[in-house]
Amino acid sequence: MSTVTTMKCACESCLCVIEIEKAIKKNGKNYCSQNCADGHPNGNGCGHAGCECG
């Protein structure tokens, strides 16, 4: 049996894979950044290299 320690950010347009224990948690979902967790209210992406979410 293996334990899952990483997953894709819950933001649909985000490409980031994150460590679950370091994720920002909101409404039972795991996000890579506060911008993703808040639904990109200012249209800003997560700021991670290679990811254009927002």
Contact 47, 35 (CB under 8 A): yes
Q: Which domains does the chain have, with CATH numbers?
A: 1-54 (2.30.170.10)
Which residues share a beta bridge with 19? 6
| The predicted structure's pLDDT at residue 2 | 84
Could you report the average pLDDT of every consecutive run of 10 residues in the chain (54 residues)? 92 97 98 98 95 94
Give the predicted TM-score (pTM) of the model.
0.90
Region label for 45, one of left (φ > 0), alpha (ψ between -120 and 50) or beta (otherwise):
beta
